[in-house]
């Protein structure tokens, strides 16, 4: 049976114990090429700052190399945290990326800082005050206007929209990302596709429904489009899937406690979980198991959200196991054949 939703991948570029950021980036490139060949629809990279466990501090720096290393898959940010940046700078960067890989670039935008408060403040150029948190809709509108060439003539920056890099690649597809009602309503108002972070907040079905109900068609999108990003680990057996889930469980428990660590090995994490059963209990949805069971669970998530797409994300210390997870899901869904035909 053919699924009614597309499948994509979110890569947070994990750094395992004994690895460096350079190793993580090499793994990102390898996994992107793998997912391109396997038939996934998109390959997005996250933005996280001051994290010893995640190398993806600048998705815009990774998108170009990943796009040039692949041939078919769409490549993008999951996402660029707009409060840290000038809308004009983001527009310039992503129009340049679109010139490098025409028709294949996605600009996923988020409001969250992607880090702790101190690091978010350090990311500001102006340290005289903390940046306001309520100007996101205005910055989003400014960014989209640059990309679409719709800046009002009387806007002081109107002339800048004509200076953006042009390589006949067009503008990137713009997405709004989030895990709250605010992001859903902004996406609906702007007429943009919406990606909900189910792996952060697994109670998003009503939020997605509100996005659809309030959606206003735009020049970019005629009808609402929902993607849910879901924590997913496929393995040869359910037992192996649970083993592979232990390192991220340990890492997140330490993060909540205020301790930052690299992604531990499976063996180290299993020992920690045995000693800390309460701290190891994951309170968000995890889709874990053998391929057929993973598909059954993902079908349920897609039905819950009415999703047009699902984006799979996980953090594993063993790169071969990460590749294997995505290979198993692709085989279960039969992704490669339709991608080859396209």
Q: Indicate if the pLDDT at residue 339 is higher than 70.
A: no
**pLDDT confidence of residue 37:** 96
CATH class of the 6-341 domain in this structure: alpha beta
Q: Which of 2, 1, 14 is nearest to 233 (CA)?
A: 14
Q: Which residue has the tokens 């189910």?
A: 198
Spans of all domains in the chain: 6-341
Q: Which residue has the tokens 């994290």?
A: 51
Q: Indicate if the pLDDT at residue 268 is higher than 80.
A: yes
pTM for the full model? 0.94
Q: Which of 239, 237, 228, 241 is nearest to 316 (CA)?
A: 241
**pLDDT confidence of residue 1:** 45
**pLDDT confidence of residue 325:** 98
**pLDDT confidence of residue 131:** 63
- Tens of pLDDT along 156-195? 999 999 999 987 778 899 999 999 999 999 999 999 999 9
Q: Indicate if the pLDDT at residue 149 is higher than 60.
A: yes
Which range (97-101, 120-124, 133-137, 227-231) has the least confidence?
120-124
**pLDDT confidence of residue 166:** 85
Percent of the chain clearing pLDDT 70 (strictly above): 91
**pLDDT confidence of residue 338:** 64
- Tens of pLDDT along 217-242? 999 999 999 999 999 999 999 999 99
Strand partners, 141: none
Average pLDDT over residues 320-340: 90
Mean pLDDT for the chain?
92
Residue 96 confidence class, pLDDT cut points 50, 70, 90: very high
**pLDDT confidence of residue 187:** 98
Q: How far is CA 104 from the centre of its chain?
A: 15
**pLDDT confidence of residue 117:** 75
């Amino acid at each position: 049976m053919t699924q009614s939703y597309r499948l994509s991948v979110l890569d947070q570029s994990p750094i395992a114990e004994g690895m460096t950021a350079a190793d993580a980036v090499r793994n990102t490139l390898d996994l992107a090429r793998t997912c391109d060949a396997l038939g996934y629809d998109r390959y997005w990279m996250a933005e996280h700052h001051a994290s010893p466990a995640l190398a993806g501090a600048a998705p815009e720096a990774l998108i170009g190399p990943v796009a040039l290393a692949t041939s078919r898959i769409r490549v993008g940010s999951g996402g660029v945290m707009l409060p840290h940046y000038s809308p004009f700078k983001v527009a310039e960067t992503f129009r340049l990326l679109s010139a490098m890989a025409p028709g294949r670039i996605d600009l996923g935008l988020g409001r969250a800082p992607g880090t702790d408060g101190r690091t978010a403040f350090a990311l500001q150029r102006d340290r005289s005050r903390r940046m306001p948190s309520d100007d996101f809709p205005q910055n989003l509108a400014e960014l989209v206007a640059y990309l679409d060439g719709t800046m009002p003539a009387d806007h002081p920056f109107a002339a800048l929209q004509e200076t953006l890099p042009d390589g006949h690649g067009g503008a990137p597809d713009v997405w709004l990302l989030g895990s709250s009602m605010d992001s859903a309503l902004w996406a609906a108002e702007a007429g943009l596709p919406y990606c909900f972070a189910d792996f952060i907040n697994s109670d998003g079905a009503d939020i997605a429904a509100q996005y659809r109900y309030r959606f206003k068609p735009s020049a970019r999108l005629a009808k609402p489009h929902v993607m849910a990003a879901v924590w997913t680990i496929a393995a040869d057996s359910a037992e192996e899937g649970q083993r592979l889930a232990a390192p991220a469980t340990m890492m997140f428990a330490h993060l909540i406690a205020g301790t930052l660590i690299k992604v531990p090995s499976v063996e180290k994490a299993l020992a920690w979980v045995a000693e800390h059963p309460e701290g190891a209990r994951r309170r968000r949805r995890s889709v874990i198991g053998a391929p057929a069971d993973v598909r059954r669970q993902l079908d349920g998530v897609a039905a819950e959200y009415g999703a047009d797409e699902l984006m799979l994300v996980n953090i594993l210390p063993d790169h071969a196991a990460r590749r294997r997870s995505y290979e198993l899901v692709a085989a279960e869904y039969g992704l490669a054949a339709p991608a080859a035909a396209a």
